[in-house]
Amino acid sequence: MDIVERFLKYVSFDTQSDENSGVTPSTPKQMVFAQYLKEELQSLGLEEITLDENGYLFATLPANTDKPLPVIGFIAHMDTSPDMSGEHVTPRIVSQYDGEDIVLCPEEQIVLSPKQFPELLDHRGEDLIVTNGKTLLGADDKAGIAEIVSAMVWLKEHPEVKHGKVRIGFNPDEEIGLGAHKFNVEQFGCQWAYTMDGGELGELEFENFNAAAAVVLVKGRNVHPGYAKNKMINSLRVANEYVAALPAEQVPERTEGYEGFFHLIGMEGTVEETKVSYIIRDHDLGLFESRKQLMQDVAALLNRKYGEGTVTLQLKHQYYNMRKQIEPVMHVIDIAKEAMLAAGVEPKVKPIRGGTDGAQLSFKGLPCPNIFAGGLNFHGRYEFLPIPNLRKAMQTVVEIVRIVGERG
């Protein structure tokens, strides 16, 4: 099966995760896909295949040399984002993209245009896989799975490339921040690994945001509006005061690179009670802690103004920047750079403006930087995957295995 055919098969599975389910995997449909992958890996002749009750699928490409070599791994996640439907994904291939608008859905006039997405023009002349405008595509991260599986197939078919034991792992629930929580690092048994979960061609990432989630609960006092003077506390207005007290320029739509932000992701309420949800992000740990402190300070300020207990802040840690875990083992980055160059790809080392399972795995003792999977515009109807990116990512996996096999 060609890598493109494999990818198109994978995206036919609906695997959206659900942050409210409270179980692992968070949706049963992820386990359906995991079972399919397990059977595929068995048919391909991989060994030590395990699928646990939480949906973590591990397998081994055995060493084909007696040379003592480190065990390395490649990881990708099976779930797709809850932000956009992943049901009935109907991709199509745009051959030799001409640089013009791509009509995804004529009935609803949904268009993928370089005017809004100028990165399209970087792929003029290439074959692109796009959506029908009604769902996401699922390249995040089924492209990563297809690349890893296809690389294992290639290595089995080319025994002249000597290599050590290679482990592969596919996990659920990365999109809701839980992909690494029940990942058994000891069972996986690697010296280091790579997540194939990045975006554009050449991306190589070992710095990510420090991350937390915040919920601001505002308790109001409802009184008949005709007689409300000096009595009513409108929780909606207090919530808006809270939002306005945070730096207006430090939001996702106004930041880039290493700049952190406060991201307002939800607000719902009445006069009586309002709930405001945020995510907090910063690469610098000191600035990250300052952001959390600012949110606490604003809550305290409003409680002094409206009365103690009016505003309650709930902070929940999510993950930390993996950089400090990777810096002592920078050879894993050097190998990835060399592998990309061997595959004809220019490495682009950049910070992740987000997080990956690799960040949490690095803090669990498995150094795990992130490599491009090739897709763009993740989590929505405008997602697309240049086919050359897909193939180059697979070649990068092969080259990493080859380099480690040659040098140990």
Catalytic amino acids?
A: 79, 174
**Distances from the Cα of 406 to the Cαs of 72, 164, 339, 399, in angstroms?**
14, 9, 12, 10
Question: Measured between alpha carbons, how far is 309 from 219 in angstroms, rounded to an integer?
Answer: 7
Relative to beta strand 203-205, strand 273-282 is: unpaired
Taking the CA atoms of residue 156, residue 195, residue 26 and residue 264 in that order, the dihedral angle to the nearest 10 degrees is -160
What DSSP line would sit under 10-62, residue for residue?
HTTS--B--TTS-SSSSSHHHHHHHHHHHHHHHHTT-EEEEE-TT--EEEEE-
Relative to beta strand 273-282, strand 210-219 is: antiparallel
Contacts of 194 (CB under 8 A, 6+ apart): 72, 73, 74, 75, 332, 336, 358, 368, 369, 370, 371, 397, 400
DSSP state of 177: T
Check: CB of residue 102 under 8 Å from CB of residue 94: yes
Question: Measured between alpha carbons, how far is 219 from 12 in angstroms, rounded to an integer?
Answer: 45
What DSSP line would sit under 293-317, residue for residue?
HHHHHHHHHHHHHH-TTSEEEEEEE
What's at 384, amino acid-wise? F
Diameter over CA atoms, the chain? 85
Residue 365, sorted as left (phi over 0), alpha (psi -120 to 50) or beta, turns out to be left
Place of tokens 């992943």: 86
